[in-house]
Amino acid sequence: MTEVHDREDTVRMLRDSLAFLAKEGRMAAVRAARHTRSGFDSGEWGAIASLGLLSIFVPEERGGSGLGVTEAAAVAEELGKGLAPQALVNAIVAAPLLPDDILENVLSGDRVALPAWQEDPVDPLKLEAQVDEDAVTGVKSYIPYARVATDFLVLTTDGFVAVPADGVGVSLTCDKLHDGGHLGRLTLDRAAGQRLKGDANLFANAIMLCNAGYLLGVSQRAFEITQAYIQTREQFGRPIGSFQALQHRAVDMMLEIELLRAGLDRAVRIFGDPSSDAPVVSRIMARAATTAMSVTRKAVQMHGGIGFTDEADIGLYLRKAMVVANSMGTPKWHRQRFAKLADLPNNRLAS
């Protein structure tokens, strides 16, 4: 009981520490930072690092908080609400795998280490990058906010390797994304690095689950903005939120969000068993992606014409959902992964 209460207190404190992401003017800052070099407000990363949030997964004996996915997913949810760069979530999951010298600078905010793990736009687990005597060769094409990384945590067929971004044989090209960030394509040609210990499956499932938390935050705040808007916007002499068509749509959005929240709450409680994590994580990720897209789409529709303008905040949420939701396995991919794992013909209720 005490442990549960401590946990709830910790989660509440972590959430409170990110209250500044909900401040007046926040969305103006997010909007202004789009398509700059980093894609986000330059002070933001350091501010969040200084709160100790990058060390959630790092064990206490290595100077971290020694917390788990429950806390990380809650932090990710707050980051999503405030449209903070999603790369923060990825950096949080990557941190415990880093060697001491890099980790120290990452936790202080002086360096940024981002995971470079995906090679395929649809199948996030497809893996061909090779490591040969601490030199990595391969192409990692889907790294959000890659330009801010000083180090990459590269996943190869033979484990993780830390590779400095300015090393020999390392090249990076970036493409703009609709959330104002960018997608990095990292080419490694016998790039020197430091081999690291770490479980690739645990990593992949943790990063997916935490990003489901981020998408919950995106969906939740997009819904709140819409709920407020339809109570103030008037047409036909009444608030449009008094019309049944919009009321029913709003309830559908609430249901989608509550299903995601309940599923995620359960998933983070049972997470950590590599033999059973994948089916649950795939279910939650499929729900998160579908919900974020559905809720933000409906939110724009309920705003009417203003929802299609760049000046309305709601469009920032739609474009964030577009960028993040399908980036770590589409819902179809997650259902296929589940089907393969579940031996469906012989498993009546597999999950």
Partner 1 sequence: MTREERALADAAMTDDEFRTEVRQWIAANYMLERNLLERPKFSVTKPWYVKLNERGWLAPAWPIEYGGSALPIMKQIIIVEEQERFGTCRLNDMGITMVGPLLIAFGTPEQKAALLPGILNGDIAWCQGYSEPGSGSDLASLRSEAVPHEEGWRINGQKIWTTRANDANWMFALLRTEKSGVKQDGISMFVFPMDTPGITVTPIVDLNGGTELCHTFLDDVLAGPDALIGEVNKGWTISRTLLGFERLYVGSPKQSAHAIARLHDLISFLHLWNDNVVVDTYVQLLFDLDDHIDLYESMIDEVARTGVYPTTISLLKISQSELYQRVTDQLVEIGGAFGGLVEPIPETGGLSPANQFLFARPVTIYGGTSEIQRNILARRTLGLPG
Which residues contact partner 1 by CB under 8 A?
A: 227, 230-231, 238-239, 241-242, 244, 246-248, 250-252, 254-255, 258-263, 265-266, 283, 286-287, 332, 335-336, 338-339, 342, 344-345, 348-351
Q: Residue 40 or residue 229: which is nearer to partner 1 going by CB?
A: 229
Work out how close the CB of 286 gets to partner 1 at its nearest, in angstroms, rounded to a whole number: 6
Report the alpha-carbon distance of residue 292 to residue 118 in Å, rounded.
Answer: 21
Q: Residue 5 or residue 197: which is nearer to partner 1 going by CB?
A: 5
Work out how close the CB of 243 gets to partner 1 at its nearest, in angstroms, rounded to a whole number: 9
Work out how close the CB of 274 gets to partner 1 at its nearest, in angstroms, rounded to a whole number: 20
Q: Residue 178 or residue 335: which is nearer to partner 1 going by CB?
A: 335
Work out how close the CB of 291 gets to partner 1 at its nearest, in angstroms, rounded to a whole number: 10
What residues have CB less than 8 Å from 158, skipping those under 6 apart?
130, 131
Helix pair 100-108, 42-50: axis angle to 10 deg: 110
Question: What one-character-per-residue DSSP string does 257-308 give?
Answer: HHHHHHHHHHHHHH---TTTHHHHHHHHHHHHHHHHHHHHHHHHHHHGGGGG
Task: Work out the angle at residue 314's Cα, subtended by the Cα atoms of residues 312 and 319, and round it to the nearest 5 degrees.
Answer: 110
Work out how close the CB of 281 gets to partner 1 at its nearest, in angstroms, rounded to a whole number: 12
Q: Residue 193 or residue 241: which is nearer to partner 1 going by CB?
A: 241
What residues have CB less than 8 Å from 49, skipping those under 6 apart?
106, 107, 108, 109
Q: Residue 137 or residue 227: which is nearer to partner 1 going by CB?
A: 227
